[in-house]
Amino acid sequence: MARDLLTDFELMILLAILRLGDQAYGVPIAREIETTGRRSVILGAVYTALERLERNSLVSSRMGNPSPERGGRAKRFFDVTPQGLKAVKDTQRSLVALWKGVAQLKGGTV
């Protein structure tokens, strides 16, 4: 059975894809995580996580056309599947439930 909840990196990737819409490929996904998540990202690790998510049917991918600024290499665009969206919602629900009632976290963000 597949895991029900996502890891933090998988969650960030899925949220980045949802934010980017139909322009979600490796570079913007990594940039989105770097800017909003404030962490440096290894592109190879992003692809490894994306392939794992695709194996679990949480994302789907399609190939784009090769372009000269990429050395003639094609882009691979990613979309979140309905199962992926459900996994994001389930993870959000669990995290929010954990957040509630923690005294140390009251009074805004640190």
Partner 1 sequence: MTAPKPPRLAEALLGRLALDNEPLAGDIIEEFRRRNSRFWLWRQLIAALVVQALYAPHPPVALNLTPTDPVVAEWLMWRRLTSDRKTQVSLTGSGVEGIGGLTMVILGFMMSTVIPAIWWFVVGGIGAGVLLGVVKLRARRVAYPNTERLLKL
By CB under 8 A, name the binding residues for partner 1. 25-27, 30, 42-45, 47-48, 51, 55, 63, 66-67, 69-71, 73-76
Cβ atoms < 10 Å from Cβ of 104: 6
Closer residue to partner 1 in complex, CB, 31/93: 31
48, 29 contact by CB (below 8 A):
no
User: DSSP 3-state assignment of 105?
Assistant: helix
> What's the closest the beta carbon of residue 76 comes to partner 1, in angstroms?
4
Closer residue to partner 1 in complex, CB, 39/70: 70
Three-point CA angle 43, 80, 61, nearest 5° = 60
> What's the closest the beta carbon of residue 109 comes to partner 1, in angstroms?
30
Closer residue to partner 1 in complex, CB, 67/92: 67
> What's the closest the beta carbon of residue 67 comes to partner 1, in angstroms?
8
Closer residue to partner 1 in complex, CB, 56/83: 56
89, 9 contact by CB (below 8 A):
no
81, 58 contact by CB (below 8 A):
yes
